[in-house]
Structure 1
């Protein structure tokens, strides 16, 4: 039974009437462009065929009732006429409540009424594949579709980001929500994180998007993420610019020795990564997998040596994949760092060899068993 059938069946069983709509919003993987989003830079993600699915129906009152199928059918119920506050014990509820609260602030508070919904998803949690953004965009799309709210995908994405930053209390850039809302089948999206402009970039035929979770438990990710942001802001102030987006590599190289050495390394990563990301979009469009692979390798080295966010387990995974594929594609760490996943772009016929090499070597070298996902670049949020 797929997620649509599962949520529709559960909806009818629990609420006693059929759902009118089923909405999906995908997770994502970032092919290149890491820690550039909060520096007003460029990213190149694609939506993946793992998603959050919500079967829903409008109510004729002001109550929102939510069932989380993946959490033993836990229930949340709240009124649109009372102040929406955080839930004491159910963290998943806060993503739903935050999205609804920010939708109220963004629209006339009476622009929409109550909703019944059943939520389920298969985006792996804690793997850096944006299960939270997928949930936020799915909930936003539910209200937009049921009540015909005048919101486009970018606005639904921004609403989700606001909910995560201000209501849930987690700092995040805009990329995750934007690709979930705007993803396009068989394409990646080159996103300008300053203007939120997005350009669809076609993916070469016969290329698989492989995601391998190192299953190394990320512990430093929150504190170190905030430190990296501060270091980037310090760098931008040094150049008297609003963001590192506005600094050229030439300007940086001329004065790099005057910067604090650690800040200089962080800045160099962001500037070089922005340039790589723009070039990667054109390499993908031309189907130049060899150049894409070189850019991904440079990106990984920059994250390892300049931004210092990889861990030995991730570097080991990258080395195993690289040794198997040679110059036929690319591999790098993806996501915030300190564990999480690597992403590889490889010809489909090489997938079994890569899977076998990783299975034979990774656990033997690290003592941890990986999880292997083969994904397709998928469509963004909408009815399913």
Structure 2
């Protein structure tokens, strides 16, 4: 394993970290000005920085074993580097003078499974810039700059949930976030429950998936209904005049917002889990972002006696599933479910609660 010292010589001036996240409820609602309920995970991305005299940025990714050089006027062509470049450009546009620097990225946030590795990279980069420059940049502005970076420079028309969760959420309580107003509060997990995340083994790339298509469909539905966004639709029946698939897209967004608010108010794990189960059905049938691997893994989780509820998490089209479980049964659940999943011909692994206890089961 390399290090900043080994690559650049000497020590970094600053080191900043940011976590990945898993979304418990509120999928695809963030870019519709709706409600979301993410929670941070233990895995983090770290970004080390030091000013250099090269007049350009030198970016090294430990995970990808790749070094990229660029300036603010000459963007990189490597996709992972566009996230860092975008953060630097957007910080500069906000009046934060980012000096040419050596940048070293390390991460144990899994890529391509719906745990927001990109948001962790963006937030960690901007936190490093904040420390390096001494600029007074609050955590909400960091999330907003990170979102702009991903939309404008990485080509993903994301909502702000991932960046707000990475910038503001903790690992013990979920963040109830109104993505329109950015009002937020922490919601403890129901008593006697813990979060488990299993990787389906099917990677997906947001920019190359149906994510942007779903967002465009929501915008078209809102236009036809005469509202600013689907957040403003409270009665699902008003969508009955819309053609398919717009009617089903509206149905998912409206019902998913309701589920988030119900989950934030409920006190029992069984009720919370039932809302997660309903969310997956909506994502599968109305929003059409699930796939056979995700459906199989979710079905196995939902059928387990120590699982309260389960659903896909992230944008879909592959990636991970999240389950609310009895805490003492997490090893039993993950091992049993992954074994049955492998017997179905698929390969999965445990991602959360801890990468140190990561287990893979292959057919």
The reply to whether TM is greater than 0.5 is yes
1: CA distance, partners of 2:206 / 2:14: 40
Instruction: Identify the residue that residue 178 of structure 1 maps to in structure 2.
Output: 164
2: CA distance, partners of 1:338 / 1:118: 31
TM-score, normalisation: structure 2 = 0.91
Q: Which structure has more RCO (C-alpha within 8 Å, separation ≥ 6)?
A: 1
The reply on whether 1:269 has 2:252 as its aligned counterpart is yes
Give the alignment partner of residue 85 of structure 1, picking from 74, 82, 103.
74
Instruction: Identify the residue that residue 216 of structure 1 maps to in structure 2.
Output: 202
Q: CA deviation at 1:205?
A: 5.5
1:215-250 per-position Cα deviation (integer Å, ceiling 9, x unaligned):
12447974522232222122212321100101112x
The reply on whether 1:34 has 2:27 as its aligned counterpart is yes
Kept in 2: contact 1:27–1:123 (CA 8 A): yes
Q: CA deviation at 1:27?
A: 0.8
Give the alignment partner of residue 302 of structure 2, picking from 309, 312, 322.
322
1:102-136 per-position Cα deviation (integer Å, ceiling 9, x unaligned):
1110115xx34233332110111111111111111
Instruction: Identify the residue that residue 382 of structure 1 maps to in structure 2.
Output: none
1: CA distance, partners of 2:132 / 2:205: 39
Kept in 2: contact 1:137–1:157 (CA 8 A): yes
Instruction: Identify the residue that residue 3 of structure 1 maps to in structure 2.
Output: none
Q: CA deviation at 1:19?
A: 2.4
The reply on whether 1:169 has 2:132 as its aligned counterpart is no
CA distance 1:224–1:19, change in 2 (3 Å): closer
* Structure 2 residue matching 1:290: 3-state secondary structure: helix
1:182-197 correspondence runs (5 A):
182-197=168-183
1:14-73 per-position Cα deviation (integer Å, ceiling 9, x unaligned):
33322233211111110000110111001100111111112333457854332222222x
Q: How many residues align?
A: 354
* Structure 2 residue matching 1:165: 3-state secondary structure: helix
Give me the CA root mean square deviation: 2.2
**Unpaired segments of 5 or more residues in structure 1?**
1-5, 377-384
Give the alignment partner of residue 57 of structure 2, picking from 54, 58, 64.
64
Kept in 2: contact 1:231–1:263 (CA 8 A): yes
Instruction: Identify the residue that residue 308 of structure 1 maps to in structure 2.
Output: 288
**Unpaired segments of 5 or more residues in structure 2?**
355-363
TM-score, normalisation: structure 1 = 0.86
Kept in 2: contact 1:69–1:120 (CA 8 A): yes
Q: CA deviation at 1:271?
A: 0.3
